[in-house]
């Protein structure tokens, strides 16, 4: 894997993990969807955000392990 692709993979993992962590652990998603009148969609948020956060963290770990090789 080229260095550019690895940096892009690492950046995607870090940004995705930060965004999903913000939505999981802060009321950011509740405020945003409540302000738009879409608070009924919050019932499924836990089923999507926790696996997304785990996936992005896994992607970050994978990119870091590829960088060390």
For residue 55, the model assigns a pLDDT of 92
Q: What is the pLDDT of residues 14-52, one digit of tens each?
A: 998 888 887 777 777 778 778 888 777 777 777 888 888
Largest CA distance in the chain: 48
pLDDT, position 31: 80
Alpha-carbon distance of 7 to 26, in angstroms, equals 28
Write out the residue range of the structural domain in which residue 58 sits: 3-68
pLDDT score for 69: 65
Indicate the number of domains in the chain.
1
Number of residues that this document lists for the chain: 69
Mean pLDDT confidence for 48-62: 89
pLDDT of residue 5: 80
Q: Are 29 and 42 in contact (CB under 8 A)?
A: yes
**Considering the entire predicted model, what is its pTM?**
0.72
């Amino acid at each position: 894997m080229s260095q550019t692709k690895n940096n892009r993979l690492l950046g995607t993992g870090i940004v995705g993990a930060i965004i999903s962590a913000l939505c999981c652990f802060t009321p950011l998603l509740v405020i945003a969807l409540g302000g738009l009148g879409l608070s009924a969609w919050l019932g499924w948020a836990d089923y999507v955000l926790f696996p997304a956060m785990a996936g992005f963290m896994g992607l970050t770990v994978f990119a870091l392990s590829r960088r060390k090789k």
